[in-house]
């Protein structure tokens, strides 16, 4: 049966290759279409009433390329690759060449580079220095806070825990990203955990939309199911202080007379009464949300990123002043950490669907729509595979040892990705030789196939390369070359006329006008 399946797949690939155009006119048309598209691009200088910022966690350029090829072939373009403006972001942090998600998210949301593993505090705060993080002067203001100050709505949607590294800098200030609940704090610590900051402190308590996972960080002694178990991973925590922050959220909104809804599954989200909801809390799992290909799509299951984005925009767009929304496709990163390239690509395409929803629901005349990443992973696209072949397939045999290798591989990986073996051979001077497992004997198209990695670690580590940023809408032309990552905050603030950016713009315009007046006066003398 498996042999017939392999033969059928090979026949399909041959048929695809035979239909791929390679004639001169095809290439000319492809280039001319792109040229016509480029010639039509004009700068949009309208104020950005709304801003939607998508973060594909771990979505480096090679991940985007692999997703593009998987979906439509080498000549295809993803939705956000058609945006008129793009650039690259340098992702190093204040103290590391290769960053984590907490410091990179803080840079994009708050405008300065900070130390690895810290959240919403400047680089004077070292990792786990609680006392320093309590100082007012070290605390950074986020785009979400600026939006609320401007009488706009603000919120976030994530496939991760709502207290995780990427969303938390929007509302929290912490010397450690791991302090998500009280159980992870040092004994007798005066610092408040990230979950409590979300529900109890400003701006978290005033965010109009909060959706993702992380029930066990919010509810003390939360219980799990076979489908949604409690996690005991060292990367997470489990609240045990008796607090129920979801009930606390409800009480706060009821006390203030605010229309609110709390939803826990697909059915509740689909039945959401938007007209009666100004504040929406959606907690759909104890931990992170499931991968898209494993997600329970039934009434009791978890929503897709696209479904959450649709609901979020419906709630936020009720504010006539506009809104700021951050959307994280976090499972891209989770899959890369495990060496599952196909899952990472699948999650990238799930995020693309969410981008399409946002594009369809907004007007590029007044909405700045941005897609970028916080950091790369060490995914590589190798060898010389034929055009039209599977991105998850075999590239070719090695010219060195004759053993096949896959098109995709990682520089670093966990134990499952280390496919090298040492064989004792007394005839060799060293007494041994190193060989690789032949991937052509395995099903490399499976979601949980683990790509080979060069260096074995506890898991795949992040990469330190630049990430792409794609933009459409007001002031999207500000993303146009290689930028520092914290520039994102300043470009968005300028486009949306937030805080000091709007005031500094007025000063610059006034100075310009004064210079013109002075020049005219000089020539009239």
| Rounded distance between C-alpha atoms, residue 391 and residue 369, angstroms | 29
Token digits of residue 472: 């459409």
Q: Which of 15, 18, 93, 101 is catalytic?
A: 101
For residue 293, say whether it is annotated as part of any ligand binding site: no
| Rounded distance between C-alpha atoms, residue 327 and residue 156, angstroms | 6
* 521 has catalytic annotation: no
For residue 337, say whether it is annotated as part of any ligand binding site: yes
Considering the domain architecture, whether residues 273 and 124 belong to the same structural domain is answered as yes
Residue 377 in contact with residue 63, Cβ under 8 Å? yes
Whether 207 is in a domain gets the answer: yes
Considering the domain architecture, whether residues 322 and 428 belong to the same structural domain is answered as no
Considering the domain architecture, whether residues 362 and 299 belong to the same structural domain is answered as yes
Whether 516 is in a domain gets the answer: no
pLDDT of 3 > 70? The answer is: no
pLDDT at 504: 43
Considering the domain architecture, whether residues 300 and 412 belong to the same structural domain is answered as no
Q: Residue 183: how many CB atoms within 10 A of its CB?
A: 16
pLDDT at 419: 78
pLDDT, the chain, mean? 91
At residue 36 the predicted structure's pLDDT band, cuts being 50, 70 and 90, is very high
Whether 126 is in a domain gets the answer: yes
Whether 248 is in a domain gets the answer: yes
At residue 428 the predicted structure's pLDDT band, cuts being 50, 70 and 90, is low
Residue 344 in contact with residue 379, Cβ under 8 Å? yes
- Boundaries of domain holding 398: 394-456
DSSP string covering 481-520: SEEETTHHHHHHHHHHT-HHHHHHHHHHHHHHHHHHHHHH
For residue 223, say whether it is annotated as part of any ligand binding site: no
pLDDT at 522: 43
Whether 523 is in a domain gets the answer: no
Considering the domain architecture, whether residues 9 and 65 belong to the same structural domain is answered as no
| Strand, helix or coil for residue 149 | helix
At residue 494 the predicted structure's pLDDT band, cuts being 50, 70 and 90, is very high
Whether 518 is in a domain gets the answer: no
For residue 374, say whether it is annotated as part of any ligand binding site: yes
Nearest residue to 293 (alpha-carbon basis) of 446, 441, 503, 120? 446
What pTM value is reported for the model? 0.91
Nearest residue to 329 (alpha-carbon basis) of 48, 80, 49? 80
| pLDDT tens, position by position, 259-314 | 999 999 999 999 999 999 999 999 999 999 999 999 999 999 999 999 999 999 99
How far out from the chain centre does Cα 310 lie? 17
How far out from the chain centre does Cα 125 lie? 25
Considering the domain architecture, whether residues 194 and 260 belong to the same structural domain is answered as yes
For residue 252, say whether it is annotated as part of any ligand binding site: no
At residue 379 the predicted structure's pLDDT band, cuts being 50, 70 and 90, is very high
CA 524 → CA 514, 515, 521, distances in Å? 15, 14, 5
Q: Break the chain down into helix, strand, coil percent, rounded to 5.
A: 40, 20, 45
For residue 166, say whether it is annotated as part of any ligand binding site: yes
| Strand, helix or coil for residue 75 | coil
Considering the domain architecture, whether residues 476 and 444 belong to the same structural domain is answered as no
CA 440 → CA 392, 404, 406, 437, 447, distances in Å? 11, 7, 8, 9, 16
For residue 188, say whether it is annotated as part of any ligand binding site: no
| Rounded distance between C-alpha atoms, residue 367 and residue 310, angstroms | 15
Whether 321 is in a domain gets the answer: yes
| pLDDT tens, position by position, 43-101 | 999 999 999 999 999 999 999 999 999 999 999 999 999 999 999 999 999 999 999 99
| DSSP designation for 469 | E
Is the C-alpha dihedral spanning 314, 316, 319, 322 positive or negative? negative
For residue 57, say whether it is annotated as part of any ligand binding site: yes
Q: How many domains, in total, are found in the chain? A: 3
For residue 425, say whether it is annotated as part of any ligand binding site: no
Considering the domain architecture, whether residues 300 and 401 belong to the same structural domain is answered as no
| Rounded distance between C-alpha atoms, residue 206 and residue 53, angstroms | 19
| pLDDT tens, position by position, 225-239 | 988 999 999 999 999
pLDDT of 356 > 60? The answer is: yes
Considering the domain architecture, whether residues 137 and 9 belong to the same structural domain is answered as no
Half-sphere exposure for 20 (CA within 13 Å, toward CB): 16
Whether 60 is in a domain gets the answer: yes
pLDDT at 400: 87
Considering the domain architecture, whether residues 160 and 247 belong to the same structural domain is answered as yes
Considering the domain architecture, whether residues 293 and 432 belong to the same structural domain is answered as no
H or E, element range at 422: strand 420-424
Helix and strand counts by DSSP (H, E) for the chain: 15, 19
């Amino acid at each position: 049966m498996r042999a017939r399946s392999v033969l059928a797949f090979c026949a399909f690939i041959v048929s695809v290759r035979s239909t791929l155009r390679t004639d001169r006119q095809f290439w000319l048309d492809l280039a001319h279409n792109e040229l016509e598209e480029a010639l039509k691009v004009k700068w949009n200088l309208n104020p950005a009433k709304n801003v939607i910022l998508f973060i594909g966690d771990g979505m480096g350029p090679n991940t985007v390329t692999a997703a593009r090829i998987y979906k439509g072939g080498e000549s295809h373009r993803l939705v956000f690759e058609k945006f008129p403006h793009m650039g690259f972001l340098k992702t190093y942090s204040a103290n590391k060449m290769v960053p984590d998600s907490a410091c990179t998210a803080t840079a994009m949301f708050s405008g300065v580079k900070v130390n690895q593993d810290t959240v919403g505090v400047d680089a004077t705060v070292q990792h786990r220095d609680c006392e320093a993080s309590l100082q007012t002067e070290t605390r950074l203001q986020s785009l979400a806070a600026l939006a609320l100050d401007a009488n706009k709505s603000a919120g976030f949607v994530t496939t991760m825990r709502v207290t995780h590294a990427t969303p938390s800098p929007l509302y929290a200030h912490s010397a450690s990203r791991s302090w998500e609940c009280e159980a992870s704090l040092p004994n007798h610590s005066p610092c408040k955990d990230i979950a409590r900051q979300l529900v109890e402190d400003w701006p978290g308590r005033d965010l109009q939309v909060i959706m993702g996972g992380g029930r066990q960080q919010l509810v003390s002694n939360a219980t799990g199911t076979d489908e949604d178990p409690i996690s005991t991973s060292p990367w997470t925590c489990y609240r045990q202080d008796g607090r129920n922050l979801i009930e606390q959220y409800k009480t706060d909104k009821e006390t203030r007379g605010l229309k609110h809804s709390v939803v826990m599954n697909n059915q509740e989200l689909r039945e959401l009464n938007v007209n009666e909801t100004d504040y929406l809390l959606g907690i759909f799992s104890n931990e992170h949300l499931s991968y898209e290909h494993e997600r329970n799509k039934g009434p009791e299951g978890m929503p897709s990123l696209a479904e959450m984005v649709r609901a979020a925009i419906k709630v936020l767009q009720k504010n006539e002043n506009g809104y700021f929304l951050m959307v994280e496709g976090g499972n891209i990163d989770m899959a890369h950490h495990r060496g599952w390239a196909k899952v990472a690509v699948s999650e990238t395409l799930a995020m693309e669907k969410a981008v399409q929803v946002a594009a369809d629901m907004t007007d590029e005349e007044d909405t700045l729509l941005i897609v970028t990443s916080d950091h790369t992973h060490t995914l590589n696209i190798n060898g010389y595979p034929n055009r039209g072949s599977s991105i998850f397939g075999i590239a070719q045999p090695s010219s060195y040892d004759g053993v096949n290798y896959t098109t995709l591989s990682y520089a670093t990986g966990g134990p499952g990705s280390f496919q090298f073996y040492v064989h004792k051979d007394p005839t060799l001077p060293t007494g041994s030789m190193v060989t690789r497992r032949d991937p052509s004997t395995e099903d490399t198209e499976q979601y949980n196939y683990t790509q080979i990695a060069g260096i074995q670690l506890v898991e795949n580590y992040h990469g330190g390369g630049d990430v792409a940023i794609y933009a459409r809408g007001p002031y999207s032309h500000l993303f146009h070359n290689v930028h520092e990552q914290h520039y994102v905050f300043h470009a968005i603030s300028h486009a949306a006329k937030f805080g000091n950016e709007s005031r500094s713009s007025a000063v610059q315009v006034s100075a310009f006008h004064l210079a013109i007046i002075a020049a005219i006066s000089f020539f009239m003398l």
